[in-house]
Amino acid sequence: MPSTKSTVDNMDALCAVKTLLRKRLGQCWVPEKFIGFEKEEKEIYDLLKRTVSFGESNSVVVIGARGIGKSMLLKSILNNICEDKKIAQNLLQVHLNGLLQTDDKIALKEIACQLQLENTFGNKVMGSFAENLQFLLEALKSGDDSSKPILFVLEEFDLFAQHHNQTLLYNLFDVAQSAQTPICVLGLTCRMDIMELLEKRVKSRFSHRQIHLFNQLTFRQYTEIFQQYLHLPEKFINPKFALKWNSGIEKISHDSTVEDLLKRQFSINKDIRKLKSFLMHPVCRLSENHPTLLVSDFIDSFKLITTDSKSSLLQGLSILEICLIIAMKHLTEIYDGEPFNFEIVYSEYLRFARNRSSMQIFNKSVVLKAFEHLQALELVKPLDGTSTRTQKEYRPVILLVHPIQLKEVLQKYPSCPTEIKHWAISSFA
């Protein structure tokens, strides 16, 4: 009985692990310790703390490439600030997104909704956006004429710059500058030229404070993030299982094969989203029959996410089209990269086919059709464009397939005749 109970507990724990890790990898999860951007994190933290503690109004734009971790950084900072219960109760937050709040009217309704002022706002009709916004902020003031600090987070900040007259931005920056109500306006954007998008009147009220995020992770930090996503928390439902699991993650992260895969992934792209994609496949493979993460899972995952699109195209070609690619590879070597035409390729193909009794020799019209299909797939590129008067058989072309790509495809190509492989090998040699 005890062993059966233990097995059931382990299965429940494994189910919980799978759910937890999927949520981490599929959503904007914020780890307890945020790695990277320590300097920027402190700068934003101090800015928000001054607004909360001293009622100082501020405005700032955080600029960084898409997926670099702007939203995660902000959530980490807010979590740290709101650890103080007094601050958590006092700070009001409004989160807007340029993809959702597509005009100022929608944005104003969302502000009223998040500040829980829909009833106060009601159907009250006022003249301008500024009056409506001012009314909402006045409604937040307490009896002693003071008001709670408000943080406005504008994600996809550049899209708000496309609103009519940039009214929302103008009024938020105006309130921040006038210090009537303690507010901090924080924009998140991937546009490096964001200041060029703002109107003069908006710029005049903006603090011009910009914080740029650049991915400067070291490989050691990258490995730490890898471990963070897979480690289980101390408060996991089954502490004994968590201890064993974390020990396994520590061991696998120092495995030479996994380290090599991480180094290759790191050299290709340091984007954390790519790392999450790399981890998703092994996590999804967890099951009753596959209760732990294995090195082979990470190898398979790396192969999946680094699949070359051109190699995938090559694997879908017919034997005739593969033969034409090999013939063109021969010609590229013979002519030292100089262009060639269909007639030359067809002659090279015939030379090979006639020397192999088992090879089927196709009609010239069929071979030309296959050649045109390779052009349509952009594996072969005409040098004189499509508006030329030259006959298509004599139009100069070049091959856009690398020898390594062709070699890898031939190794995996199903039922590829041995003689074709030998022909290709002679080309590589």
Q: pLDDT value at position 67? A: 84
Give the Cβ contact number of residue 214 at 10 Å: 12
Q: Is residue 300 part of a domain?
A: yes
Range of the domain at 244: 2-25+218-306
Q: Check whether residue 236 and residue 317 sit in a common domain.
A: no
Helices of type H across 84-232 = 85-90, 104-114, 118-121, 129-139, 157-160, 167-178, 194-197, 200-205, 219-230
Q: Is residue 353 part of a domain?
A: yes
Q: Check whether residue 206 and residue 114 sit in a common domain.
A: yes
Q: Check whether residue 407 and residue 353 sit in a common domain.
A: yes
Q: Check whether residue 15 and residue 52 sit in a common domain.
A: no
Please provide the DSSP assignment of 290-311 as one string: B-S--HHHHHHHHHHHT--HHH
Instruction: Report the alpha-carbon distance of residue 353 to residue 364 in Å, rounded.
Output: 13
Q: Is residue 31 part of a domain?
A: no
**Which residues neighbour 61 within 8 Å (Cβ) at sequence distance 6 or greater?**
157, 186, 187, 188, 189, 194, 209, 210, 211
Please provide the DSSP assignment of 266-290 as one string: HHH---HHHHHHHHHHHHHT-BTTB
Q: Give the count of domains, the chain.
A: 3
CA distance between the termini of the chain? 65
Per residue of the chain (429 residues), give pLDDT as tens. 445 666 667 788 899 999 999 999 988 788 878 888 889 999 999 999 898 888 889 999 999 988 888 998 999 999 888 888 878 888 889 999 999 999 888 888 888 888 887 666 555 555 567 777 777 777 655 444 467 889 999 999 999 999 988 989 998 898 888 867 788 999 999 999 999 999 999 999 999 999 999 988 999 999 999 999 999 998 888 889 999 999 999 999 999 999 999 998 898 888 888 899 999 999 999 998 898 999 999 999 988 887 777 878 888 899 999 999 999 998 988 888 889 999 999 999 998 888 875 677 889 999 999 999 999 998 998 887 655 677 888 889 999 888 878 888 888 887 888 888 888 887 555
Q: Check whether residue 6 and residue 61 sit in a common domain.
A: no
Any idea what DSSP says for residue 123? T
Q: Check whether residue 62 and residue 173 sit in a common domain.
A: yes
Residues in the chain: 429
Q: Check whether residue 266 and residue 315 sit in a common domain.
A: no
Q: Residue 155 is inside which H or E element, if any?
A: strand 150-155
* Coil vs helix vs strand at 86: helix
Instruction: Report the alpha-carbon distance of residue 100 to residue 230 in Å, rounded.
Output: 32
How far lies 425's CA from each of 49, 99, 250, 337, 347, in Å? 66, 53, 43, 18, 19
Q: Is residue 175 part of a domain?
A: yes
Q: Check whether residue 315 and residue 302 sit in a common domain.
A: no
Whole-structure pTM value: 0.69
Q: pLDDT value at position 243? A: 92
Q: Check whether residue 203 and residue 109 sit in a common domain.
A: yes
- Looking at 274, 306, 338, which one is the last position of a domain? 306
Q: Is residue 33 part of a domain?
A: no
Q: Is residue 292 part of a domain?
A: yes
Instruction: Report CA 85 to chain centroid distance, whole Å.
Output: 34
Q: pLDDT value at position 428? A: 53
Q: Check whether residue 165 and residue 275 sit in a common domain.
A: no
Contact predicate 408/311, CB 8 Å? yes
Q: Check whether residue 102 and residue 53 sit in a common domain.
A: yes
Q: pLDDT value at position 5? A: 63
- Looking at 213, 242, 265, which one is the last position of a domain? 213
CATH code at position 139: 3.40.50.300
Q: Is residue 348 part of a domain?
A: yes
CATH code at position 388: 1.10.10.10
- Looking at 264, 289, 306, which one is the last position of a domain? 306
Q: Check whether residue 99 and residue 74 sit in a common domain.
A: yes
